[in-house]
Amino acid sequence: MKDKIRIGCGAGFSGDRLDPAIILAEQGNLDYLVLECLAERTIALAQKRKIKDQTKGYDPLLERRIESLLPALTKNKVTLITNMGAANPMEAAKKVADIARKLKLKIRIAAVTGDDVFKKLETSSIALETNEPVGNSGELISANAYLGVDGILEALHANASVIITGRIADPSLFLAPMIFEFGWSTSDYDLLGKGTVIGHLLECAGHITGGYFADPVKKPVEGLHKLGHPFADVKKDGSAIISKVQGTGGVVNLMTVKEQLLYEVINPSEYFTPDVIANFTTVKLQEIGHDQVQVTGGHGKPKPETYKVSVGYKAFCLGEGEISYAGHAAFERAKLAGEIVSKRFAEGLVISDHPITDIRVDYIGISSVHRTDFKTAPVSPYEIRLRIVGKAQTPEDAALIGEEVEALYTNGPAAGGGVRKLVNEVVGIVSTLMARTEIEVQITIIES
């Protein structure tokens, strides 16, 4: 049993930079490296790739991340825990074994499975968002339960040095090594609550090291181009010091830690995971040195009786087109263009197989992201980009929206330019609950 471990987080989402994790693996003096790469919808998209090819469906950056990290991880005896398995942890583990063989490294890899509950899902199960059966949302394509620490713990006991999971609650990726190393009981909910706080602080990587925090006017941060990702020195009592590798860019201070502590929290006194219901309101933070924040407090109460399941469904085809206007009367011309396209759809002048609905017109540069300008911009900007988007049932129909924007080139108003078109088959997500007894977590060990 150890008294202290160091856990780093080298990726906070699927598309995150590769180099911060390499720096953590090489210079971080870590015991564990976690790569959190799976957002709410990522797994449904991965499921679509798996349906097309049974050997795919894991994270598209898996090979690049593993190739760049394995030598340093092996040399420095750092255990890797990642949800890059996405919809296919087994194939991801095989791929990691192939890469290890190519690099002539002998490692034990564990794949954690059991989160894919698509075959067990009842379409009559009630969606939390709509209060209606999940089957009413549309054609279902995936169902994944948010697992807790169990599978990772089993993999750690089996001495695996690379652990690949699918859907697991993000903080559980960090909590598992704490439980394993400190011999915490999985019914000591105060300790699990504290560990969950630490996991939540780390899980978004560059969030807590000043990246997504930075504002050059009020919150300037140095070295963002070489932003370091965080690690935590976690003690057996559930306290931790958050920091980052010396010499990397960014900052860890009270402000960055507070922003991350409250990020995506719906109720700070009841933060649900499959392992514990954690209480964040009792957390205390203290700056104890340069880029060092101590985290103490945090509590927990018994875990929920059910697992949360994310259900992916085919929602609609999104069609989109954009065009720019600049100079005198730019906003007036953009507005006229928006009216023209809206009118063409409303009056049935665009021939589609099925109705195209929910046409939305945005003026990028004025009110596209906050839906208002709070009256802070009385003058029209010099240039403006018109964006028109809508819902269709088929990709062919969705393409009509971009085509209509493109047709503004010759049909006017004057001097529109730089058209971009996009069609996207949108996967929606609803959540439901499933009894713990329905879910069997398994691990599979592969050696290179």
Partner 1 sequence: MKLYDIAHSRAGDKGNTLTLSLIPFLESDYDMICEKVTVDRVKNHLQQVVSGEIIRYELPHIASLLFVCHNALLGGVTTSLAIDTHGKTLSYALLEMDI
First to last CA, the chain: 28
Distance in angstroms (rounded) separating the CA atoms of residues 39 and 21? 19
Block residue for tokens 């929920």:
304
358 binds partner 1 per the rule CB under 8 A: yes
216 binds partner 1 per the rule CB under 8 A: no
Q: Which of 212, 350, 419, 421 binds partner 1 (CB under 8 A)?
A: 212
Residues 364-383 that bind partner 1 (CB under 8 A): 364, 368-372, 374, 376
Q: Residue 281 or residue 442: which is nearer to partner 1 going by CB?
A: 281
Distance in Å, CB of 193 to partner 1, minimum:
14
Q: Chain-centre distance of CA 34, in angstroms?
A: 14
Distance in Å, CB of 259 to partner 1, minimum:
4
261 binds partner 1 per the rule CB under 8 A: yes
Residues 279-308 that bind partner 1 (CB under 8 A): 280-285, 297
Measured over the CA atoms of residue 243, residue 248, residue 253 and residue 257, the dihedral's sign is negative
Distance in Å, CB of 295 to partner 1, minimum:
10
Q: Which of 174, 180, 184, 213 binds partner 1 (CB under 8 A)?
A: 213
Distance in angstroms (rounded) separating the CA atoms of residues 138 and 83? 27
Distance in Å, CB of 55 to partner 1, minimum:
26
Q: Residue 32 or residue 280: which is nearer to partner 1 going by CB?
A: 280
The residues near 158 (Cβ < 8 Å, ≥ 6 apart) are: 108, 110, 443, 445
Q: Which of 21, 92, 97, 389 binds partner 1 (CB under 8 A)?
A: 389
Distance in Å, CB of 444 to partner 1, minimum:
30
CB 103 within 8 A of CB 97: no
x/- letters, 148..187, toward partner 1 (CB under 8 A): ----------------------------------------
129 binds partner 1 per the rule CB under 8 A: yes
268 binds partner 1 per the rule CB under 8 A: yes
Q: What angle do CA 270, 263, 115 make, to 5 degrees?
A: 65
329 binds partner 1 per the rule CB under 8 A: no
146 binds partner 1 per the rule CB under 8 A: no
Up-side HSE of residue 176: CA atoms within 13 Å toward CB? Answer: 27
316 binds partner 1 per the rule CB under 8 A: yes
Q: What is the total count of residues that contact partner 1 (CB under 8 A)?
A: 52
Q: Which residues bind partner 1 (CB under 8 A)?
A: 40-41, 129, 207, 212-213, 215, 218-219, 255, 258-269, 280-285, 297, 315-316, 318, 358, 360, 362, 364, 368-372, 374, 376, 387, 389-391, 426-429, 431
